[in-house]
Amino acid sequence: MLRNINPILSPQLLYVLRAMGHGDEIVISDANFPGEGIGPDCIRADGSTASEVLEAILSVMPLDSFVPDPALTMQVVGDPDAVPEAVADFQRIINETADKPTEIQTLERFAFYERAAGTFAIVQTGERRFYGNIILKKGVIG
Amino acid sequence: MLRNINPILSPQLLYVLRAMGHGDEIVISDANFPGEGIGPDCIRADGSTASEVLEAILSVMPLDSFVPDPALTMQVVGDPDAVPEAVADFQRIINETADKPTEIQTLERFAFYERAAGTFAIVQTGERRFYGNIILKKGVIG
Amino acid sequence: MLRNINPILSPQLLYVLRAMGHGDEIVISDANFPGEGIGPDCIRADGSTASEVLEAILSVMPLDSFVPDPALTMQVVGDPDAVPEAVADFQRIINETADKPTEIQTLERFAFYERAAGTFAIVQTGERRFYGNIILKKGVIG
Amino acid sequence: MLRNINPILSPQLLYVLRAMGHGDEIVISDANFPGEGIGPDCIRADGSTASEVLEAILSVMPLDSFVPDPALTMQVVGDPDAVPEAVADFQRIINETADKPTEIQTLERFAFYERAAGTFAIVQTGERRFYGNIILKKGVIG
Amino acid sequence: MLRNINPILSPQLLYVLRAMGHGDEIVISDANFPGEGIGPDCIRADGSTASEVLEAILSVMPLDSFVPDPALTMQVVGDPDAVPEAVADFQRIINETADKPTEIQTLERFAFYERAAGTFAIVQTGERRFYGNIILKKGVIG
Amino acid sequence: MLRNINPILSPQLLYVLRAMGHGDEIVISDANFPGEGIGPDCIRADGSTASEVLEAILSVMPLDSFVPDPALTMQVVGDPDAVPEAVADFQRIINETADKPTEIQTLERFAFYERAAGTFAIVQTGERRFYGNIILKKGVIG
Amino acid sequence: MLRNINPILSPQLLYVLRAMGHGDEIVISDANFPGEGIGPDCIRADGSTASEVLEAILSVMPLDSFVPDPALTMQVVGDPDAVPEAVADFQRIINETADKPTEIQTLERFAFYERAAGTFAIVQTGERRFYGNIILKKGVIG
Amino acid sequence: MLRNINPILSPQLLYVLRAMGHGDEIVISDANFPGEGIGPDCIRADGSTASEVLEAILSVMPLDSFVPDPALTMQVVGDPDAVPEAVADFQRIINETADKPTEIQTLERFAFYERAAGTFAIVQTGERRFYGNIILKKGVIG
Amino acid sequence: MLRNINPILSPQLLYVLRAMGHGDEIVISDANFPGEGIGPDCIRADGSTASEVLEAILSVMPLDSFVPDPALTMQVVGDPDAVPEAVADFQRIINETADKPTEIQTLERFAFYERAAGTFAIVQTGERRFYGNIILKKGVIG
Amino acid sequence: MLRNINPILSPQLLYVLRAMGHGDEIVISDANFPGEGIGPDCIRADGSTASEVLEAILSVMPLDSFVPDPALTMQVVGDPDAVPEAVADFQRIINETADKPTEIQTLERFAFYERAAGTFAIVQTGERRFYGNIILKKGVIG
């Protein structure tokens, strides 16, 4: 552990967040997400919820203010406008924790998978609630 | 996740527990334990407490009944007979979960480090309570 | 071995099944299948039949209920509607073991090879009966 | 599979048997043996019994005739003269299959572990009978 | 060396032949063939002729009976119908050794190179006769 | 870069500091120190002084309070009681930045090398002042 | 450190500059640049400014005189003709240090990213000024 | 060193020349050539001229007689018919050393780069004369 | 293949012979020798006899003239003065091929194994005659 | 190549010299030295003499002034006081090129080998003169 740094941020996760630059993206996924086989490095966080990881990441990582959609979640299959409980939780955490709060945008399920395949890394959490996945785009630090 | 298997058991941790044989040992460590540099593979479980990991491991791994000390904790420095809260918790979980309950034995701090260096693997948890470390010796399955 | 887990599931196979997510696929192949050179990791299970491995995998892995074809076998060349003995055995095991029984669908031989090339892993068994191959798609755990 | 070669001999196991020379040793272990952490390469054969693997290995590998103890098993703890069922099975297979039948010799449990640590490779079988372990020393081919 | 297995089959070559499945192909090449840079693993057999290696491989590997051309050689440049001495030798060995004798088919030089690039492995022999190259497709074992 | 974390802490250095546990040690070395060949991982920080790195590390890492010498520098050869300018600077930074200020202790030159060889990692800075080396022992976080 | 060579040039950076040939390109990036995930090797120089690294590199590396644009910076988004302070600094250093001074040319932001992805290496500095990125093309030495 | 083999041929270079087959190509490059980043393995020969390496290679490697252009150099930019001193030297060495002397053909600069990218290996010499690059195609040995 | 170099010398073997220096040793072993597990790199030459390999090696490698025993064979167990046929063959080849003929010296079987374990490399041949092993010490080239 | 840096210093050699610290040692060896098997990384410089490499290294690397013997050569066997031509050449180059000229000291042949085994790296040159080996100890830069 380190002073003043959320201990949920493991050595590998801290490395990744520090190495990411402006515009790089990271996925926080739920426990059912197929994160190991998509391509990017997959960091295990089986003992944490997606909400806990989101809060920890936003405590050190800025969101990108150059784009309108620095936070993306997956649309419910067959009900694209629904807001699952996990996503509502994400929006609340962003409002409270992010340096630049933003309204979460959404992607259709397979578009979300494709976007995830091009990110910098995936954090696979133990989140049990469905649709507990979010993609974050890193911003700049002045 | 898998059916009927505690989801705290990550892919790497399941691999290790399944690969271990009779007499092999595993360390469950607290968040301050120097687990990365001791020698054995170190599996991160930053989002779980040592108690949660102990319960999950004992749900699939038998303790060794060939020896009198299949579970070992670290003595409090300067007070070897004290029973820290984390250790009391370990004893309760062993009583409730292990296939063959046993009374936890103890090792002096540096003897514990030396024993840990010769184990099969270390699971580094996010346990914040001091002395939240335990070494388990695997038994046989008939 | 581990308590309550089918010992046919080796360390590497347990790792793969636990790492797979919703929609990831795994091949169980017979002894003549060209599984080593197709692309995915190939896990050897030369001492088991395909039926034994199928039963062991379904004891821990849910089938995908989002698609109509979570279980696929290879059509007999020249007789696409035939049901080889090994496949009949697969259907019986799925009916008895799977969390959500499903009717096996089929693919033409080379379409099966192509599908197999995109899976998460291949388990190469010692199955001697011809057409003893099956692709399974992993479902979610609630 | 190959013509005239026992299909229990997997690619990796065939490689090892062919690479071994005069005097090199191999362990066939039961399912509880701590084979992964001892040192030599550990080849999984979870779907086979130790007897099946012994028969397959002896079909291609000669036993060393330069020493009196080319086949060694582990003594029962506390009863060194006992002949466990698995060992009786081994002796029968050696009598029937080996190029040069020999009487199995025994080692005390920890002496067996130490000897195993210096071998060329370990084949970890799914043998469920206790004491189903044997060390074989390779002979020459004229 | 192993009992009843041609000693020309080295550890690596035995591994490859055992790992190949139905329809996988292997190249036996002469000493001038550009086998190291084409893509597949290249196994050295500098001390053997292509004929010796062919005979050894056919002693354990079945030819594919699902296709009309399980054995392919390279056409003489400028004289596609010629039968070089090495190829005549190959045909004789196939007739005498293969489980299912077949008539060798041919490919134009660069088509042969392209086909070789997609095989499972290449065995580079010390064959000094020109056109001493052959591609074999593995069959099934019942 | 990350919010609220000194940007001198590179991805690799953050990883190491987060992975270290109670009692693990890290070396901050000057530009002439033989840090690459001693054994531990050597992290380059050629563009920073040792003082800058010390301040950055102490902003996140606690010093060990279980020992009397959690901070060690190298004695001037031939004048063991001298306090080089770099070391005076280190003491000032520890006083101002460390969670638990401590008085720096010293080691003879070759004893310092030997101690450095057993640490978790070495940060090789661009410090041009002689004797600009310090070993820090990590403490616990409550 | 070495005699007569700028100590900002770390072992890895010296290696890269020496290995580059005529026409190979290198990126010097600011602290927010997404340099780790683009493709080329990324050399950390968190303790130096982009200007310091540019001066050090030009002290040993010639610029290409075969092309009109051996030095390229990123256009300010929305104001392509602006000259950020960092870029003005780069032009001054090139005028003073390069073997063949040249006028810096510019690329649109995403064209710059694409060009960077095809370079030999990226040096990620700690430069805090925005647009502190430059691509250099190596020339010949007569 | 070896008896009767030019000592300029280093272990790695001898390996490559021996591994190459009929039609494989190798580049001998001058000191400014961008040989490390093009793709093929790059063998350093910084202490030798291109002429010395050419002579050493031709002492053991035959040129291909199946094609009209087994030796290719780079055209002078803007003067494709010029014969640089280094190239004249190459022609002289081929005439004196090659098993089958041939007239060197030429390629435009970027066509030469593209051809080089598909070769077996590149030998990067310390040749200071411009245009001191040549691609050789290996022939057969009867 | 290469001009004027014995084609039995494979790429890897040529590499090793060229890399060896004054006093380095190489083993040529028969087909029963335990060469893969002793320590040094083991180069396969299953298709050649030990005599063929000895002749090929001596055609390029000088024997050490600084010591009285640059060529060592294994004593027949129980008959240390016997000269096996393979060894007689070795002596004849050394007399005819070596740059500096020498009388072969011998080592007891296990002393030979120990000496072999410290050599630069082992060439494992297909030699079927017993005691067909020899250790050679490389000399200097003036 | 780089501006103002001797082009004999290859990328790997520059890396090593820059990475070495105070007291680290490097060997420059002649063509017969057994440099590949001793332990340290061995950098090939087959096209250069030991004298050329010594001059290039001393142009950038200071010699250690803390010890009386920062330059060591090998004593002639049987004539420890002899000064071979190569060594006389080394002394002349040190006098002319080193930052702090020093008188070369000597070691007995096998003591030299042992010392070499503990150095940072070995540069294997093409030096043909016997005893053309030297060990250099790096000094500090103020």
Which pLDDT belongs to residue J142?
87
Environment class of G138 (CB within 10 Å of its CB; exposed 0-12, middle 13-18, buried 19+):
buried
Q: Alpha-carbon distance H27 to H50, whole Å?
A: 10
Mean pLDDT of the region C109-125: 97
pLDDT digits (tens, 9 = 90+) for F51-63: 999 999 999 999 9
Q: Does C23 touch chain A (CB under 8 A)?
A: yes
Provide, rounded to the nearest whole percent, the portion of chain G with pLDDT above 70.
100
Which pair of structure tokens corresponds to residue G64? 């290409």
Q: Any contact of F with E, at least 3 CB pairs below 8 A?
A: no
A8 CB neighbours in chain B (<8 A) are 46-47, 126
pLDDT by residue for chain I (142 residues), tens digit each?
999 999 999 999 999 999 999 999 999 999 999 999 999 999 999 999 999 999 999 999 999 999 999 999 999 999 999 999 999 999 999 999 998 889 999 999 999 999 999 999 999 999 999 999 999 999 999 8
Do the domain assignments include residue E41? yes
Which one, of G86, G87, G76, G66, lies nearest residue G22 by Cα?
G66
> For residue A126, which residues of chain B lie inside 8 Å, CB to CB?
7-8, 47
Contact, H54 vs H17, CB < 8 A?
no
* Per-residue 3-state assignment (H helix, E strand, C coil) for chain J: CCCCCCCCCCHHHHHHHHHCCCCCEEEEECCCCCCCCCCCEEEEECCCCHHHHHHHHHCCCCECCCCCCCEEEECECCECCCCCHHHHHHHHHHHHHCCCCCCCEEECHHHHHHHHHCCCEEEEECCCCCCCCEEEEECCCC
pLDDT at residue H121 above 90? yes
Pairing of strands A25-29, A105-107: unpaired
C116 domain residue, yes or no:
yes
Hey, of G2, G42, G46, which one would you mutate to test binding to chain F, going by the most F CBs within 10 A of its CB? G46
Q: Which of B14, B20, B99 to mutate to test the interface with D (most CBs of D within 10 A)?
A: B20
Q: How many CB pairs under 8 A join I and J?
A: 27
Find the helix or strand (DSSP H, E) in which I105 lies. strand I105-107
User: Using one digit for the tens of pLDDT, what is the confidence trace for D61-79?
Assistant: 999 999 999 999 999 999 9
Q: Is residue C4 part of a domain?
A: no
The list of chain D residues with pLDDT below 70 reads: none
Model confidence at B142: pLDDT above 90: no
Question: Annotated catalytic, D64?
Answer: yes
Q: Is the residue at B2 inside a domain?
A: no
Q: pLDDT per residue over I62-102, tens digit each?
A: 999 999 999 999 999 999 999 999 999 999 999 999 988 89
Identify the domain containing residue D93 by its residue range.
11-137
- Please give the interface size between B and D, counted as residue pairs whose CB atoms are below 8 Å apart: 27
Kindly give, in sequence order, each residue whose CB lies less than 8 Å from that of residue D96, ignoring residues fewer than 6 positions away: none
Closest residue of chain A to F4, computed from CA coordinates? A60
| Per-residue tokens: J115 | 């010392």
CB G60 within 8 A of CB J3: yes
State whether E1 and I45 contact (CB < 8 Å): no
Report the DSSP pairing between strands D134-137 and D71-74. Answer: antiparallel
Q: Does D23 touch chain E (CB under 8 A)?
A: no
Quick one: which of G43, C88, A48, I74 has its CA closest to B126?
A: A48
Nearest-angstrom CA–CA distance, D31 and D35:
9
Q: Which residues of C are catalytic?
A: 22, 64, 113
Of G17, G22, G136, which to mutate for an interface test with H (greatest number of H Cβ within 10 Å)?
A: G22
Check: CB of residue A120 under 8 Å from CB of residue A42.
no
In terms of Cβ atoms closer than 10 Å to its own Cβ (0-12, 13-18, 19+), residue J104 is middle
Q: Mind telling me how many Å the CA of C15 is from chain B's nearest CA?
A: 5
Q: From CA A125, how far away is CA A121, in angstroms rounded?
A: 13
Chain E nearest-CA residue for I31: E1
Q: Which residue of F has its CA nearest to J61?
A: F32
Considering only the beta carbons, identify the residue of J3, J14, J15 that sits closest to G141. J3
8 Å CB contact of F44 and G8:
no
Task: Please state the three-class secondary structure of chain C as a single string.
Answer: CCCCCCCCCCHHHHHHHHHCCCCCEEEEECCCCCCCCCCCEEEEECCCCHHHHHHHHHCCCCECCCCCCCEEEECECCECCCCCHHHHHHHHHHHHHCCCCCCCEEECHHHHHHHHHCCCEEEEECCCCCCCCEEEEECCCC
How confident is the prediction for chain F on average, in pLDDT?
Answer: 97
Q: Is residue G3 part of a domain?
A: no
Question: What is the SS3 assignment for H7-53?
Answer: CCCCHHHHHHHHHCCCCCEEEEECCCCCCCCCCCEEEEECCCCHHHH
Asked whether the beta carbons of residue B32 and residue A7 sit closer than 8 angstroms, the reply is no
Q: How close I68 comes to chain E (CA, Å)?
A: 32
G46 vs F12: CB contact, 8 Å cut-off?
no
Over residues A35-87, the pLDDT tens digits come to: 999 999 999 999 999 999 999 999 999 999 999 999 999 999 999 999 999 99
Is the residue at D142 inside a domain? no
Tell me, yes or no, whether F6 lies in a domain. no
Residue by residue, DSSP assigns A77-128 as TTBTT---HHHHHHHHHHHHH-SS--PPEEE-HHHHHHHHHTSSEEEEE---
Q: Please tell me the total count of domains within chain A.
A: 1
Examine chains C and J and say if they touch (3+ CB pairs below 8 A).
no
The CATH number given to whatever domain includes residue H16 is 3.40.1650.10
Whether the CB of B7 is below 8 Å from some CB of chain A: the reply is yes
Do C36 and E22 count as a contact with CB atoms less than 8 A apart?
no
Residue type, H104: I
- Residue B142: name the closest of D96, C7, C9, H79 by CA: C7
Token pair recorded at residue G110: 């995403």
Predicted confidence at residue I45, as pLDDT, reads 98
- Three-state SS for G73? strand
Mean pLDDT across G110-117: 97
Q: Which of F2, F19, F62 sits opposite A18 (nearest CB)?
A: F2
Give contacts of G23 with chain H, Cβ < 8 Å: 34
Q: Does C10 contact D36 at a Cβ distance shorter than 8 Å?
A: no
d(CA H48, CA H33): 14
D12 interfaces chain E, CB cutoff of 8 Å:
yes
Task: Classify burial at F128, counting beta carbons within 10 Å of its beta carbon; exposed 0-12, middle 13-18, buried 19 or more.
Answer: middle
Mean pLDDT of B54-75: 97
pLDDT, mean of residues G73-94: 97
Q: What is the pLDDT of residue J94?
A: 97
Mean pLDDT across E112-135: 98
| Contact predicate H69/H108, CB 8 Å | no
Active site residues of E: 22, 64, 113
Residue D3 lies in a domain: no
- How high is the pLDDT of residue F102? 94
Strand partners, H1: none
At D100 the pLDDT is: 85
pLDDT of C99 > 90? The answer is no
Both tokens of J76, joined, read: 């002639």
Measured in degrees and rounded to the nearest 5, phi and psi for residue I89 equal -65, -45
Q: Does A21 touch chain G (CB under 8 A)?
A: yes
| D-chain residues near C47 (CB < 8 A) | 8, 45-48, 52, 125-126
Q: Tens of pLDDT along C28-78?
A: 999 999 999 999 999 999 999 999 999 999 999 999 999 999 999 999 999
Whole-number percent of chain H with pLDDT over 90: 96
Q: Does A35 touch chain C (CB under 8 A)?
A: yes
C23: left (phi over 0), alpha (psi -120 to 50) or beta: left
Q: What percent of chain C has pLDDT over 90?
A: 96
The chain-wide mean pLDDT, for chain J, equals 97
Whether the CB of D1 is below 8 Å from some CB of chain C: the reply is yes
Residue of H nearest to G119 (CA): H37
Is A60 in the F-facing interface, judged by CB distances under 8 Å? yes
Detail the DSSP E strand segments found in chain E: 25-29, 41-45, 71-74, 105-107, 121-125, 134-137
For residue C100, the model assigns a pLDDT of: 85
Of D79, D87, D76, which is closest to residue D135 (Cα–Cα)? D87
C-alpha span between I49 and E8 (Å, rounded): 12
F2 touches chain G (CB under 8 A): no
> Does any CB of chain E come closer than 8 Å to the CB of residue C37?
yes
Residue G142 pLDDT more than 90? no
Residues 83-112 in H contacting I (C-alpha not used; CB under 8 Å):
99
Q: Do chains I and F touch (3 or more CB pairs under 8 A)?
A: no
Task: Identify which of J131, J121, J116, J71 has the alpha carbon closest to the alpha carbon of residue J98.
Answer: J71
Chain F contacts of B31, Cβ < 8 Å?
141
pLDDT per residue as tens digits for the range B70-117: 999 999 999 999 999 999 999 999 999 988 889 999 999 999 999 999
Comparison of pLDDT for J95 and A142, the residue scoring more: J95
Nearest to D14 by CA among I116, I124, E20, E137: E20
In the predicted model, is pLDDT for residue B140 greater than 90? Answer: yes
Distance CA I67, CA I70 (A): 6
CB burial of residue D128 (10 Å; 0-12, 13-18, 19+)? middle
d(CA H62, CA H66): 12
